[in-house]
């Protein structure tokens, strides 16, 4: 294991009793990345995030976060990690400036000054009580608090769940503006694939505990081919073994892993492969996938 | 969040095209600095690496240049080059269809309103 990566996992499996949540996966997260962790409910996203912050032991394999063993060196790890769990709750009775004081006492690498500066971006004021804030404002407050920790890795589990459009936009603007500096990385799990597609540098897709895709967005454009085609070409397209065939706004579409042996230009129009389509193609039920895959 | 990108080409290419249209309109003017990567990234909600690729595409089109430690600047002559390229593209790709339509409809130059409404 090296210092090059902020997260390194080798042959990692996570189990709850007899149930396997994460099944023998390997990946690295380098610095300066925005990594999307995608998966349906029960795919293993939250288990993986728990393991990353030392809340769940690995049943097999090796895991290093910021060069530390998350389970055995949890205290040291949490001192330098920015983490918002999926059930993030800030104490409702607390005032914002009290939370900042509390964080200063708990987190050696927390900067109260930076937290106040970050909050100036939002409509949250230091004298507000948590219970008077909207859900969107609480989430922004939480982001400001964890972004004020001097760390190199942020872990966000479904950070914008239940927020309206404007709050989600504000959240991601703050994340890009105040966190992504080319050195620090962030791992975000979400269901809202379409919405964060352009924010990501990399994507990891989990399906039933297996890592079915781990790729940069740049590689997606060069590796996968999406074709919008004439319905009359359906047979030829099917014979070329697409990963997925589907309809988009009434238009017949096909997604291929690699360049298919087809005269694409005569069959239709080549389009940008979207993350949502790729996600659907790679994480459908095995019996459905078996019929559409090579 | 509004979907502002289509599926016709990669995101970095669409951003490069959008920035080129702004350059053609003089925003920012030649010799002036472009917004920083981070500003562009948070404004368009696009990953900074993707923004970097878009700017690189503009560098390759000879429209902007990197100045060490200062960021990206619009090159002198960028607007002229963009305008020339846009005119050539119009004459090559759009004009033939437009001309055919005008002929079909029997429209003469004097039938068209050349003044801004």
Q: Tell which of A152, A179, A208 closes a domain.
A: A208
> Do B69 and B99 belong together in one domain?
no
Structural domain includes residue A29:
yes
> Do B44 and B95 belong together in one domain?
no
pTM of the predicted model, to two decimals? 0.88
pLDDT at B116 over 80: no
| Selected residues 68-87 of chain A with any CB under 8 Å from a CB in chain B | none
> Do B49 and B99 belong together in one domain?
no
> Do A197 and A230 belong together in one domain?
no
| CB-count burial class (<10 Å; 0-12, 13-18, 19+) for A35 | buried
Structural domain includes residue B112:
no
Rg (CA), chain B: 18
Rg (CA), chain A: 21
Q: Which domain holds residue B65?
A: 11-78
As a whole number of angstroms, the distance between CA B58 and CA A288 comes to 43
Structural domain includes residue B6:
no
pLDDT, tens digit, 9 for 90 and up, residues A13-26: 999 999 999 999 99
Predicted local distance difference test score (pLDDT) of residue B2: 53
A199 CB neighbours in chain B (<8 A) are: 45-47
pLDDT, tens digit, 9 for 90 and up, residues A252-287: 999 999 998 888 888 899 999 989 889 988 987 544
> Do A176 and A227 belong together in one domain?
no
B7 CB neighbours in chain A (<8 A) are: 226, 228, 271-272, 274
Q: Can you tell me the ipTM of this complex?
A: 0.85
Instruction: Please indicate if any CB of chain A lies within 8 Å of the CB of B48.
Output: yes
Structural domain includes residue B54:
yes
Q: Which domain holds residue A196?
A: 5-208
Give the mutation candidate from B44, B49, B50, B71 for the A interface (greatest A CB count, under 10 A). B49
Structural domain includes residue B18:
yes
3-class SS at B72?
A: strand
> Do A233 and A156 belong together in one domain?
no
Question: For A115-144, what is the mean pLDDT?
Answer: 94
* Phi, psi dihedral angles at A52 (to 5 degrees): -65, -30
> Do A202 and A229 belong together in one domain?
no
How many domains would you assign to chain A? 2
Nearest to B1 among A32, A165, A176 (CB): A165
A147 CB neighbours in chain B (<8 A) are: none
Tell me if A61 sits within 8 A of A12, measured CB to CB: yes
Residue A87 pLDDT level (bands cut at 50, 70, 90): confident
Give the mutation candidate from A176, A215, A222 for the B interface (greatest B CB count, under 10 A). A176
Predicted local distance difference test score (pLDDT) of residue A59: 96
| CB-count burial class (<10 Å; 0-12, 13-18, 19+) for A245 | middle
B10 CB neighbours in chain A (<8 A) are: 221, 272
User: Which residues, 6+ apart, have CB-to-CB distance to A159 below 8 Å?
Assistant: A84, A139, A143, A171, A188, A190
Structural domain includes residue A169:
yes
């Amino acid at each position: 294991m090296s210092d090059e990566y902020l997260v390194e996992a080798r042959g990692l499996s996570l189990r709850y009793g007899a149930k396997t949540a994460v099944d023998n996966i390997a990946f690295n997260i380098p610095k300066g990345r925005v990594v999307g962790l995608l998966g349906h409910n029960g795919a293993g996203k939250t288990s993986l995030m728990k393991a990353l912050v030392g809340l769940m032991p690995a049943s097999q394999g090796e895991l290093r976060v910021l060069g530390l063993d998350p389970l055995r060196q949890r205290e040291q790890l949490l001192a330098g990690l920015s983490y918002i769990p999926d059930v993030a709750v800030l104490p409702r009775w607390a005032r914002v400036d009290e939370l900042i004081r509390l964080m200063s006492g708990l987190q050696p690498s927390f900067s109260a000054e930076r937290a106040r500066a970050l909050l100036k971006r939002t409509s949250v004021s230091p004298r507000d009580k948590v219970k008077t804030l909207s859900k969107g404002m609480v989430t922004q407050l939480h982001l400001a608090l964890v972004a004020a920790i001097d760390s190199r890795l942020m872990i966000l589990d479904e950070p914008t769940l239940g927020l309206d459009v404007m709050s989600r936009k504000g959240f991601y603007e703050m994340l890009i503006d105040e966190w992504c500096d080319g050195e620090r990385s962030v791992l975000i799990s979400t269901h809202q694939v379409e919405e964060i597609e352009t924010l990501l540098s990399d994507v990891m897709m989990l399906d039933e505990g297996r890592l079915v895709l781990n790729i940069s967005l740049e590689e997606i454009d060069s590796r996968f081919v999406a074709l919008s085609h004439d319905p009359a070409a359906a047979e030829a397209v099917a014979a070329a073994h697409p990963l997925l065939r589907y309809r988009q706004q009434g238009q017949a579409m096909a997604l291929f892993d690699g360049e298919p042996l087809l005269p694409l230009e005569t069959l239709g129009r080549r389009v940008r492969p979207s993350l949502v389509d790729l996600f659907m193609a790679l994480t459908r039920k095995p019996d459905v996938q078996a019929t559409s895959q090579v | 969040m509004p979907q502002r990108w289509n599926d016709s080409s990669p995101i970095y290419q669409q951003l490069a095209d959008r920035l080129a249209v702004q350059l053609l309109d003089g925003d920012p003017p030649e010799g002036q600095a472009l917004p920083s990567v981070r500003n562009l990234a948070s404004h368009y909600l696009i990953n900074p690496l993707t923004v970097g690729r878009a700017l690189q595409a503009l560098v390759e089109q000879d429209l902007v240049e990197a100045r060490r430690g200062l960021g990206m600047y619009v090159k002198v002559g960028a607007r002229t080059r963009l305008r020339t390229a846009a005119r050539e593209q119009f004459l090559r790709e759009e004009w033939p269809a437009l001309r055919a339509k005008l002929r079909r409809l029997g429209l003469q130059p004097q039938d068209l309103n050349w003044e801004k409404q």
